[in-house]
């Protein structure tokens, strides 16, 4: 064995690419992969949920209407699957949109009140109260709806029906028990009010002082300042907040289930019993006793709800994106 | 944060009676422990609570769970083996029986009516506690043919009552329920020419008020003047009730009168050895014909010895006088007549492992 | 148009903290008055009391008298909204409304007062205001683009155009050039010289050369130490302040010429 | 003399200018102020009524016994027993859900804010929005199906519920944390890089540290969102009346499910003169549990605020 004590061969000069990818070494690179992996995991989870929905819904969507009518309770005879889901989609949208129409202006009012009108101490307490209300479980809203709200609004609905019955929403006979969509919409509105308020309030508070002062310095009254500086700045945030609220209203199960007298019609009579039903409540109502194809049909309605939510989100994004150029963010 | 809270609470919380010495159960020969999971009809839930409480009181190491997932869910999960026992408002049909027999193996399925409860026809009219109604009248009211309380059909049967001209508001169950199915079965059997709908768990008529669960229909009925509904008799609170016409007389509901219906009805022929299904007779004099009959399901043999012992012990307890009395007290159900329990007990006692 | 401002013995507070103490001065019409002084000496705070912007901050209030042409701005019957409409303000950082186009930015103040302005009147006003702010030639082709797309100097001139579009009596400028590059600064300074013909102008600046270049009169503010209120040390013709100030503090400050 | 009059004139003119009532604008401003106060008052009516109803109906049921015993062996109108099993179940299941969702949620938010470019980031943002719209019952069904694959059809344990809740919770965590991380000024990151701190350490020590208050709020909102869920837990966890601390074995009770079950149970049967039997005990239990649930959420909120106060860097 001959050992030559030669110096180690000079290492070939390493040429590093001076790209951004190389500035992350060691754990930084690992960290990037962990974060990216989490992002991918979200997609995988959602794909799994969607896949699950589609696989379980598929038998119902492809079955003949005769088979469905046989297996699924409440399935109208000789109708397509769409005719079966249609009234449910209609009822879901009607309840949620009514709730949104009631809640959004009020929520914006409260948000402005907290961010720009109320004395600072009071505003803090109110902000806290609103956060707390966002956390009240829907079962409790349901209990409250039955025990307190329905008896309270019953006479109001009767009055509306009697004197404003010509208006399509108030037509039909008013229910004596007030277990109708109007009551449900009010409960949903109360329920989503804290969410919309909480998000809008945060956005309004973020309005740059600069813009508020610019408006005031031009001789704007407080409301004019809100109109010129705060509302335009918060517009996209309020839309997001409303969509968040709409999402919760669309998917709300327990409160609707406990309050509404369901029906399966395309009906705008929100004071009349047994006219509409929402998808989530329908699933919860019939799922316990469902078996076989009926389960598939229920999950197919769940898929419909999923698609509605998807569409709503896409619409909201489109609206926000169109206004992006003029948005307050820079 | 959550964990810390849980820990601090863990220090002071306990199951009631968990550390009390075992009193009543000491005389029994078997020493049972473990979990037993079942589920099904929510109509039985109150009774099940009493049974579970009583059984767990005898065997403190046992936990019996009953998921009130509904009859269909109970039958399905019993058939898939998820539930060791189940409650169902309807007897198994042929397909379900076949599936269940596959799971249960050679011994077959045990099925008997374990819970019998009168279904009251209840209404909310100020100042009126009880009304007589013939089956035709009841059917016509619920079908929406009779629409006011001072209708002639009601008035003739109640000459003394001061009936208002209020509109009748029918409230039915919005969920799929055994109560609905049993109520419709009654109407369809007794007055088939008026009630032409096929009896099923979902109410067939659209456009009427409805609410989920017994408590839901009761509170809906309480909320409006002039409402009428059908509900488990133990839950109707302060609503007025209908005495139902049977033959020439009108019968108020009572658990005994309800149990008499099953007692007087013939067992369905051609089923398995341990299957006690009944073809209910709705016109026996002196009985209250609107009953909810809910079945108990079990296997005659279980693979697992512990499960076999638990099911056997639990069902034996249910059929004992003590068990029947506990259910009657807490759920207002009808104690099973001895003539019936004597028939069921041998099947239950024959449960084995293997 | 332009009017004089008389300030008598003004104290300015943030809550319990007295930020400025005992200021009295007179601002002549159609002149440029500069406020100089070290950071935190209260010159910006004082400026904001001249159009009642100070009281926008919660807890802030003012004692003393500020008169515009003999009318006390803090009088009972005076509407702060009307005060701000008549005394315009330009801020340190350009703040065009990001959600509005250039044109709408110019019209923002006018629309508050008179919503039914005709389209031709509006166009004329936009043009004259932007011309008045030396911005017209640069933006006339993109009046419908967002104001936030302009460069910093252009944005600041847009803000000036917005301020003069409502035809105020006085224009207050709070360090209008501090966020701008030298070329934009020069453009604004030229603009101030032109605006002087029509408006009374008060400008706060850190830049003493700027004060020397643009102003007719200069007021020097100073504080004795942190936590102490700011005071008006000396006010005089700009030339006098920079050549032979009466006070030692003023001389020390101006002789340290920087910027 | 003439100069004097002109001074007088200009004073009057100025006074006129500064006191112009401009009645329309002032009326609009007044009206809007009233309207906004009104909106607030209007909203307070149902919300206060709700809180009052829960407090009024629930407070009477709250006792040490109610909070420290389970419902094991309690049935009918028996007014003993309590919600201890449901409280622990809620805390354990929500705790596991948070344990799963919070790290994933924050990591996704970090990905979106610090790394996210291109198609993956865009689709993640979009689908997170979509996920916020998953109906809760669908999440429950999904969890059941998922675990059925591994454990067979009878599987019911707390962690299944936690997974269902995580599906609902992750998007909320991501959305709110993303907003909070975006608020961290870029200058801070650059300052950190300029000091030679590696990116991951910058994120952990600078970005997360700066936004910890916001992150806590976001997480608490997400917890509040799921702690009251009923439908998915009913499907995935089942019900029990006994205490169970093991999230991986056996059913668990949770407060929302308990509330719904008690409500659905309705009136108990009490014989005339039966002692120790309260007919509407189930409803009382439901209100008591509702009050407890709200109290828990409140405690979490306060705890979150304290966390903020301790850890948040003093920015102002």
Measured between beta carbons, the chain D residues lying within 8 angstroms of C65 are: none
Number of H helices, E strands in chain C: 10, 10
Q: In this prediction, what percent of chain D has a pLDDT beyond 70?
A: 93
Give the lowest-confidence range in A7-16, A49-58, D301-310.
A7-16
Where is pLDDT greater, at A265 or A183?
A: A183
Across-strand partners of C17? C14
Are β-strands B130-133 and B240-246 bridged in parallel, bridged antiparallel, or unpaired?
parallel
Number of residues that this document lists for chain B:
354
Q: What is the pLDDT of residue A329?
A: 40
Distances (CA, A) of B224 to A23, A154, A179, B65: 73, 9, 10, 37
Which of D257, D191, D263, D197 is CA-nearest to residue D230?
D257
Measured between beta carbons, the chain A residues lying within 8 angstroms of D97 are: none
Token output for B191: 């007055």
CA distance C251 to C241: 8
Phi/psi of residue B85, each to 5°? Answer: -140, 165
Measured between beta carbons, the chain B residues lying within 8 angstroms of A290 are: 72-73, 176
Are β-strands B34-40 and C5-14 bridged in parallel, bridged antiparallel, or unpaired?
unpaired
Choose among B76, B202, B223: nearest Cβ to A74. Answer: B202
Where is pLDDT greater, at D243 or B172?
A: B172
Q: Where are the alpha helices (DSSP H) in B120-159?
A: 135-143, 152-157
Phi/psi of residue B267, each to 5°? Answer: -75, 145
Contact A267, A93 (CB under 8 A): no
Domain-located, residue C220 = yes
Phi/psi of residue B206, each to 5°? Answer: -95, 160
Choose among B71, B207, B225: nearest Cβ to A289. Answer: B71
CA distance B111 to B283: 25
Q: What is the pLDDT of residue C172?
A: 93
Measured between beta carbons, the chain B residues lying within 8 angstroms of D144 are: none
Domain-located, residue A257 = yes
Element (H, E) at B108: none
Residues D25-54: what's their mean pLDDT?
A: 88
Q: What are chain B's partners, defined as 3 or more CB pairs within 8 angstroms?
A: A, D
Residue ranges in chain C modelled with pLDDT below 50: 257-259
Where is pLDDT greater, at D174 or B107?
A: D174
Q: In this prediction, what percent of chain B has a pLDDT beyond 70?
A: 92
Judge whether residue A138 has pLDDT over 60: yes
Q: What is the pLDDT of residue A13?
A: 56
Q: If DSSP codes are grouped into helix, strand and coil, which group holds residue B225? A: coil
End-to-end alpha-carbon separation of chain A, Å? 72
Q: How many CB atoms lie within 10 A of CB B329?
A: 21
The answer to whether A144 contacts D53, with C-beta atoms less than 8 Å apart, is yes
Where is pLDDT greater, at B30 or C118?
A: C118
Which of A189, A77, A64, A179 is CA-nearest to residue A133?
A189
pLDDT in tens, B220-266: 898 888 999 999 888 887 899 999 998 888 999 988 888 889 888 88
Q: What is the pLDDT of residue A14?
A: 56
Q: What is the pLDDT of residue B31?
A: 75
Q: Residues C148-154: contacts with CB within 8 Å, 24+ apart?
A: C148/A330, C148/C96, C148/C98, C150/C96, C150/C102, C151/C184, C152/C94, C152/C179, C152/C180, C152/C181, C152/C184, C153/C180, C153/C181, C153/C183, C153/C184, C153/C185, C153/C187, C153/C188, C154/C184
- Return the beta strands (E) in D163-216 as ranges: none
Q: What is the pLDDT of residue A16?
A: 54
Token output for D166: 């995580």
Judge whether residue A103 has pLDDT over 90: yes
Are β-strands B85-88 and B34-40 bridged in parallel, bridged antiparallel, or unpaired?
parallel
Give the torsion sign (CA, D88, D91, D96, D99): negative
**Which structural domain, as residue segments, surrounds residue C32?**
5-99+170-254
Q: Where are the alpha helices (DSSP H) in C22-79?
A: 43-49
Measured between beta carbons, the chain D residues lying within 8 angstroms of A108 are: 39
Contact C254, C208 (CB under 8 A): yes
Choose among B16, B81, B331: nearest Cβ to D73. Answer: B16
**Which structural domain, as residue segments, surrounds residue A80?**
63-326
Where is pLDDT greater, at D8 or B59?
A: B59
The answer to whether A56 contacts D256, with C-beta atoms less than 8 Å apart, is no
Q: What is the pLDDT of residue A1?
A: 44
Phi/psi of residue C72, each to 5°? Answer: -70, 120
Domain-located, residue A223 = yes
CA distance C101 to C199: 26
The answer to whether B72 contacts A288, with C-beta atoms less than 8 Å apart, is yes
Q: What are chain A's partners, defined as 3 or more CB pairs within 8 angstroms?
A: B, C, D
pLDDT band at A314 (very low <50, low <70, confident <90, very high): confident
CA distance B211 to A154: 16
Judge whether residue D209 has pLDDT over 90: no
The CATH number of whichever domain residue C11 belongs to comes to 3.40.50.300
Domain-located, residue C147 = no
ipTM value for the complex: 0.82
Token output for D250: 């056996």
The answer to whether D134 contacts A309, with C-beta atoms less than 8 Å apart, is yes
Distances (CA, A) of D32 to A109, A209, A223, B343, D282: 9, 21, 7, 78, 46
D124, burial (CB in 10 Å: exposed 0-12, middle 13-18, buried 19+): buried
Which of A75, A143, A144 is CA-nearest to residue A297?
A75
CA distance A155 to A174: 10
Give the lowest-confidence range in A43-47, C55-59, C155-159, D301-305.
D301-305
The answer to whether D18 contacts C71, with C-beta atoms less than 8 Å apart, is yes
CA distance C233 to C238: 14
Q: What is the pLDDT of residue C219?
A: 93
Under 8 Å CB-to-CB from C181, ≥6 apart: which residues? C152, C153
Angle made by CA atoms B237, B240, B243, in degrees to the nearest 5: 120
Question: What's the mean pLDDT when you consider all of chain B?
Answer: 85
Measured between beta carbons, the chain A residues lying within 8 angstroms of D116 are: 39
Q: How many CB atoms lie within 10 A of CB D287?
A: 26
CA distance B275 to B88: 13
Give the torsion sign (CA, A289, A291, A294, A299): positive
pTM of the entire predicted model: 0.85
Domain-located, residue C210 = yes
Q: How many domains does chain C have?
A: 1
Domain-located, residue A93 = yes
Distances (CA, A) of D202 to A35, D184, D196, D208, D216: 14, 12, 9, 9, 19
Residues D116-134: what's their mean pLDDT?
A: 81
Domain-located, residue C63 = yes
CA distance C27 to C36: 15
Cα C84 → chain centroid: 12
Q: How many domains does chain A have?
A: 1
Q: How many CB atoms lie within 10 A of CB D55?
A: 15
Domain-located, residue A19 = no
Give the lowest-confidence range in A172-181, A286-295, B306-315.
A286-295
Domain-located, residue A56 = no
- A124/D contact by beta carbon, under 8 A: no
The CATH number of whichever domain residue A243 belongs to comes to 1.10.3720.10
Task: Identify the DSSP state of B275.
Answer: B
Choose among B71, B167, B212: nearest Cβ to A285. Answer: B212
Under 8 Å CB-to-CB from D191, ≥6 apart: which residues? none
Are β-strands C17-27 and C5-14 bridged in parallel, bridged antiparallel, or unpaired?
antiparallel
Judge whether residue D84 has pLDDT over 50: yes
Residues A223-249: what's their mean pLDDT?
A: 85
CA distance A294 to B68: 19
Task: Identify the DSSP state of D269.
Answer: P
Count CA atoms closer than 13 A to B57's CA, side-chain side: 17
The answer to whether D198 contacts A26, with C-beta atoms less than 8 Å apart, is yes
Token output for A104: 């959004």
Judge whether residue A206 has pLDDT over 50: yes
Count CA atoms closer than 13 A to B258's CA, side-chain side: 28
Under 8 Å CB-to-CB from C250, ≥6 apart: which residues? C220, C233, C234, C241
Domain-located, residue C165 = no
Residues A216-230: what's their mean pLDDT?
A: 88
Contact B181, B85 (CB under 8 A): no
How many residue contacts between C and D have a Cβ separation below 8 Å? 42
Which of D244, D222, D232 is CA-nearest to residue D301?
D222
pLDDT band at B154 (very low <50, low <70, confident <90, very high): very high
Q: What is the pLDDT of residue B22?
A: 40
CA distance B191 to B135: 7
Q: What is the pLDDT of residue C217?
A: 92
């Amino acid at each position: 064995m001959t050992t030559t004590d030669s110096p180690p061969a000079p290492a070939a000069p390493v040429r590093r690419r001076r790209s951004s990818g190389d500035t992350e070494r060691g754990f930084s690179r690992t960290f990037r992969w962990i974060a990216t992996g989490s992002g991918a995991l979200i997609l995988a989870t959602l794909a799994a949920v969607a896949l699950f929905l589609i696989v379980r819904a598929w038998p119902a969507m492809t079955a003949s209407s005769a088979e469905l009518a046989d297996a699924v309770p409440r399935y109208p005879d000789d109708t397509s699957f769409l005719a079966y889901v249609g009234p449910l989609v209609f009822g879901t949208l009607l309840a949620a949109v009514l709730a949104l129409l009631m809640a959004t202006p009020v929520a914006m009012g409260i948000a402005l009140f907290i961010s720009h009108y109320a004395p600072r101490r009071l505003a803090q307490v109110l902000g806290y109260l609103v956060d707390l209300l966002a956390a009240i479980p829907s079962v409790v809203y349901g209990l409250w709806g039955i025990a307190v709200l329905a008896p309270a609004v019953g006479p109001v609905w009767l009055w509306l029906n009697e004197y404003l019955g010509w208006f399509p929403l108030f037509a039909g006979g008013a229910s004596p028990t007030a277990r109708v969509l109007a009551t449900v919409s009010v409960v949903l509105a109360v329920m989503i009010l804290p969410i919309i308020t909480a998000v809008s309030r945060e956005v309004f508070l973020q309005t740059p002082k600069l813009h508020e002062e610019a408006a005031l310095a031009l001789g704007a009254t407080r409301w004019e300042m809100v109109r010129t500086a705060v509302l335009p700045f918060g517009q996209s945030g309020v839309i997001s907040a409303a969509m968040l609220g709409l999402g919760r209203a669309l998917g709300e199960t327990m409160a609707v289930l406990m309050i509404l007298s369901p029906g399966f019609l395309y009906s705008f009579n929100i004071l009349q019993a047994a006219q509409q039903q929402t998808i989530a409540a329908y699933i919860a109502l019939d799922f316990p006793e469902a078996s076989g194809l009926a389960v598939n049909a229920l999950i197919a309605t769940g898929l419909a709800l999923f698609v509605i939510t998807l569409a709503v989100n896409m619409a909201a994004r489109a609206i926000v994106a169109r206004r992006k150029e003029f948005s307050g963010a820079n | 944060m959550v964990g810390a809270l849980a820990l601090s609470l863990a220090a002071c919380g306990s199951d009631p009676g968990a550390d009390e010495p075992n009193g009543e159960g000491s005389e029994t020969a078997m020493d049972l422990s473990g979990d037993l999971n079942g589920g099904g009809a929510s109509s039985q839930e109150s009774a099940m609570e009493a049974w579970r409480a009583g059984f767990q009181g005898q065997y403190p190491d046992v936990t019996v769970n009953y998921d009130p997932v509904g009859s269909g869910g109970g039958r399905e999960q019993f058939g898939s083996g998820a539930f060791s026992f189940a409650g169902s408002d309807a007897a198994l049909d042929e397909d379900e029986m076949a599936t269940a027999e596959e799971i249960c193996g050679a011994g077959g399925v045990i099925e008997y009516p374990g819970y019998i409860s009168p279904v009251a026809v209840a209404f909310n009219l100020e100042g009126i506690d009880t009304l007589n109604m013939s089956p035709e009248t009841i059917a016509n009211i619920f079908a929406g043919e009779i629409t006011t309380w001072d209708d002639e059909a009601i008035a003739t049967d109640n000459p003394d009552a001061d009936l208002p001209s209020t509109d009748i508001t029918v409230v039915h169950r919005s969920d799929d329920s055994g109560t609905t199915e049993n109520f419709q079965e009654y109407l369809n059997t007794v007055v088939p020419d008026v009630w032409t709908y096929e009896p099923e768990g979902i109410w067939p008529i659209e456009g009427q008020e409805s609410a989920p669960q017994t408590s839901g229909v009761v509170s809906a009925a309480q909320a409006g003047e002039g409402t009428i509904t059908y509900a488990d008799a133990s839950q109707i609170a302060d609503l007025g009730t209908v005495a139902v016409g049977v033959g020439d007389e009108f019968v108020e509901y009572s658990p005994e009168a309800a149990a008499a219906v099953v007692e007087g009805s013939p067992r369905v022929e051609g089923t398995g050895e341990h299957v006690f299904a009944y073809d209910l007779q709705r016109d026996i004099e002196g009985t209250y014909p609107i009953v909810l009959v809910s079945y108990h399901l079990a296997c005659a043999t279980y693979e697992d010895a512990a499960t076999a012992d638990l099911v056997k012990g639990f069902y034996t307890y249910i059929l004992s006088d003590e068990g029947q009395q506990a259910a009657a007290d807490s759920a207002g159900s009808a104690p099973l007549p001895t003539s019936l329990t004597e028939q069921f007990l041998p099947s239950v006692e024959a449960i084995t492992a293997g | 148009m332009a009017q004089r401002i008389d300030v008598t013995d003004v104290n300015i507070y943030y809550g319990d903290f007295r930020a400025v103490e005992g200021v009295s001065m007179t601002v002549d019409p159609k002149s440029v008055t500069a406020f100089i002084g070290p950071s935190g000496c209260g010159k910006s705070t004082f400026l904001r009391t001249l159009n009642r912007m100070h009281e926008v901050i919660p807890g802030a209030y003012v004692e003393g008298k500020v008169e515009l042409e003999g009318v006390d701005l803090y009088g009972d019957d005076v509407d702060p909204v009307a005060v701000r409409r008549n005394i315009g303000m330009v801020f340190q950082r350009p703040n065009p409304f990001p959600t509005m186009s250039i044109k709408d930015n110019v019209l923002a103040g006018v629309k508050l007062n008179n919503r039914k302005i005709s389209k031709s009147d509006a166009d004329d006003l936009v043009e004259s205001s932007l011309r008045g702010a030396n911005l017209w030639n640069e933006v006339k082709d993109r009046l419908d683009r967002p104001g936030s797309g302009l460069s910093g100097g252009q944005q600041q001139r847009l803000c000036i155009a917005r301020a003069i579009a409502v035809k105020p009596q006085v224009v207050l400028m709070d360090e209008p050039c501090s966020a701008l590059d030298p070329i934009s600064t020069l453009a604004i300074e030229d603009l101030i010289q032109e605006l002087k013909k029509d408006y009374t102008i008060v400008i706060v600046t850190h830049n003493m050369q700027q004060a020397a270049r643009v102003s007719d009169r200069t007021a020097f503010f100073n504080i004795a130490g942190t936590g102490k209120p700011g005071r008006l040390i000396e006010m005089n013709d700009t030339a006098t302040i920079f050549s032979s100030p009466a006070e030692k503090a003023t001389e020390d400050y101006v002789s340290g010429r920087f910027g | 003399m003439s100069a004097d009059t002109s001074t007088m004139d200009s004073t009057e003119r100025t006074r006129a200018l500064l006191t112009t009532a401009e009645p329309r604008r002032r009326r609009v401003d007044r009206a809007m102020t009233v309207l906004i106060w009104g909106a607030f008052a209007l909203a307070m009516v149902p919300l206060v009524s709700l809180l009052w109803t829960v407090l009024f109906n629930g407070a009477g049921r709250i006792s040490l016994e109610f909070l420290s015993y389970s419902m094991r062996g309690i049935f009918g109108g028996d007014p003993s027993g309590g919600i201890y099993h449901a409280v622990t179940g809620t805390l354990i299941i929500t705790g596991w859900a948070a344990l799963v969702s919070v790290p994933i949620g924050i990591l996704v938010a970090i990905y979106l804010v610090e790394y996210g470019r291109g198609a993956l980031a865009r689709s993640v943002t979009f689908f997170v929005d979509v996920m916020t719209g998953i109906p809760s019952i669908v999440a429950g069904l999904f969890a059941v199906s998922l675990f059925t694959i591994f454990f067979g059809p009878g599987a019911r344990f707390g962690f299944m519920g936690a997974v269902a809740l995580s599906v609902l919770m992750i998007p909320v965590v991501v959305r709110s944390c993303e907003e909070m991380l975006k608020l961290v000024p870029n200058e801070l990151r650059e300052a950190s890089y300029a000091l030679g701190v590696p990116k991951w350490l910058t994120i952990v020590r600078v970005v997360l540290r700066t936004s910890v208050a916001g992150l806590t709020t976001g997480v608490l909102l997400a917890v509040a969102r799921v702690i009251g869920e009923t439908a998915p837990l009913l499907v995935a966890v089942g019900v029990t009346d006994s205490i169970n601390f093991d999230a991986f074995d056996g059913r668990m009770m949770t407060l929302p499910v308990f509330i719904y079950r008690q409500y659905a149970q309705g009136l108990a049967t009490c014989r005339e003169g039966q002692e120790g039997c309260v007919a509407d005990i189930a409803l009382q239990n439901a209100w008591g549990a509702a009050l407890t649930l709200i109290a828990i959420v409140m405690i979490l909120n306060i705890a979150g605020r304290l966390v903020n106060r301790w850890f948040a860097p003093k920015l102002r």
